[in-house]
Structure 1
Amino acid sequence: MDLSGVTSFFNRTLQKTEEAFKTTDKTLLDAHLEDLIKQRDMRQRWAQSLLNLVIAFVQPNPANRMEDMVLKGFDRKKERINDAEQLGESMISISRELGSSGVTNGTLAKSGEAEVAVGKATRDFQQAVESGYAEWLRNFIQESSKAALKEREKLENVRLDLDRVKTQLKRTKDDVNKKQQLEQQLTELQTAFDRQCQVTRRALEQCVADFDKNAEPLKQMLNAQREYYQTCLKAVETALN
């Protein structure tokens, strides 16, 4: 049975505990790396907040949002008629029942057609934002931000291993063999720590850069919104004329 994983977990937990009580030293990261970690954390919070707000914006109904989220987990999608489409279809249906004798028949039918068009435009806009900016935010959270966090966690583990050996070395007085063994481990872990610092730095820089490239998906959402309002305006003007 391989107990190396258990030993590492125990040593890291012990090191964190001693650091919390300030009974041992802790290797600090350089200022640039610390700043990158903060920058990544901020962008993660921003992206998650924006995603929640965008989803609520395109689908105001919380019950429908919850249903869509569950179905998305099963890679399924539910097509539903929105309120404007229901209103429009009801107007058209009533106008047909009124027939040519109805005084408001023509206006009711035209209004119904306008509402159906508005409803369809709403659905198209929702789909455009969902597959555009919302999906971009999801990808950032699940890929770039997650990858940076993974490398950061690796760095923290290597840092704990390094500091644990430093702690043990300081407390080793008379055992020459053990001291030599710990010094060898210290050299190897210092190399691993320096290497992981570079890997983590690159991942964090990439994460920050990826988030800051959100201009294009934002413009796509604004274009979809402009097209939505133009379509709605055209539908209403057609009904009025």
Structure 2
Amino acid sequence: MDLKKLAGQAGQFLTRAVQYTEEKIGSAEKTELDRHFESLSLQADAARQWTEKLVIGAEAVLIPNPGNRVEDMIFEKIEKRRPNRLSNLEYLGLDMVQAGNDFGSGTPYGSALLKVGGAEQRLGLLEREFVSNAIQGYLQPMRKFLDTEMKTITRERRLLETKRLDLDACKSRLRKARSMDGQSSHKDAVDPKVLVAQLQAEQELLEAEAELRKAQADFDRQTEITKLLLEGVRSSQAAHLRHLNELVEAQAQYYEQCHKVMTDVQKEMASVPFNPSAVGAFDNSVPVFQINDEEIDLKSPSSP
């Protein structure tokens, strides 16, 4: 471990903390960035906030189950893929098909269950395909924007803030060094102690000026780097528009296919025999019990 380097980093951290505290209480000056830079920063913040909201909203629509969303996130982190699970529509369709087979495909109800169950399974498959297409075409690119570009901008803006604190701390040190040099220059230089103090003040002034030049150069360079990244956020909206179009195309195709499936199953259901009078007769049937070979109508007034 390099103790000198560690001590230097601790000293820089302490200097920045002091500068930050003095700025908050109003006893130190702060270098302000230009209006164009501040405008770019506000635009970047808005882009990040709205993209995060849009991603969260799209995830809730595509994967309504929060548990499934967590499971998908874990699988994507570990295995780089989402689990291939059946949709609720497919489970419903599977139950309908099994029930239809149990009731018998030759019965009207069993036949209808088989037809509707098959349609529900096709809808579920279409839903899974739509979710997969929407995730690949919209969610993943938007997440990538947040995880790469926006994280890089956040990191560079934090670095710019540290460079700004270093610059303002150097400015404060230079002002103090000039004040000390001005005070020592008015004293009698014949006294050795005064002469030593003057030399020390001059040396501190030279060091403070050199540190300020370096801090100013570092700050200017970091400002340009951060500004270029911020300007790139605006151009990323063209890519976001393309991803949004892909989401719309996936939704339009999905709903069109679903409409066709339901239209077809409606036509198939029209061929299933259905006798409302038979159902009504069954609903209005009178319960009859047989006791000692004698049938008793429970609704008959003469029944005991």
**TM-score normalised to structure 1 length:** 0.95
2:139 aligns with: 134
Q: Matches of residues 17-166 of structure 1 in structure 2 within 5 Å?
A: 17-74=21-78, 75-166=80-171
CA RMSD of aligned residues (A): 1.3
Q: Say if 2:104 and 2:111, in contact at 8 Å, map to a contact too.
A: no
Q: Which moved more, 1:74-83 or 1:214-223?
A: 74-83
Q: In the aligned structure 1, how far is the partner of 2:105 from the partner of 2:47?
A: 60
1:199 aligns with: 225
Q: Using a 3 Å threshold, how does the CA distance of structure 1 residues 51 and 164 change in structure 2: closer, same or farther?
A: same
Q: Does 1:14 align with 2:18?
A: yes
Q: Say if 1:140 and 1:211, in contact at 8 Å, map to a contact too.
A: no
The one-letter code of the counterpart of 1:200 is T
The one-letter code of the counterpart of 1:201 is K
Q: Say if 1:107 and 1:239, in contact at 8 Å, map to a contact too.
A: no
1:229 aligns with: 255
Q: Say if 2:16 and 2:162, in contact at 8 Å, map to a contact too.
A: yes
> When you count helix as a share of all residues, which structure comes out higher?
1
Q: Name the structure, 1 or 2, with higher relative contact order (CA <8 Å, separation 6+).
A: 1
Q: Which has the larger radius of gyration?
A: 2
Q: In the aligned structure 1, how far is the partner of 2:233 from the partner of 2:17?
A: 29
Q: Using a 3 Å threshold, how does the CA distance of structure 1 residues 135 and 125 change in structure 2: closer, same or farther?
A: same
1:212 Cα deviation from its structure 2 partner: 4.7
Q: Does 1:170 align with 2:175?
A: yes
Give identity over the alignment, percent.
Answer: 32
1:76 Cα deviation from its structure 2 partner: 4.3
1:99 Cα deviation from its structure 2 partner: 2.5
1:195 Cα deviation from its structure 2 partner: 1.7
Q: In the aligned structure 2, how far is the partner of 1:51 from the partner of 1:89?
A: 32
Aligned length: 241
Q: Does 1:218 align with 2:244?
A: yes
1:147 Cα deviation from its structure 2 partner: 1.5
1:102 Cα deviation from its structure 2 partner: 1.2
Match of 1:182 among 205, 208, 211: 208
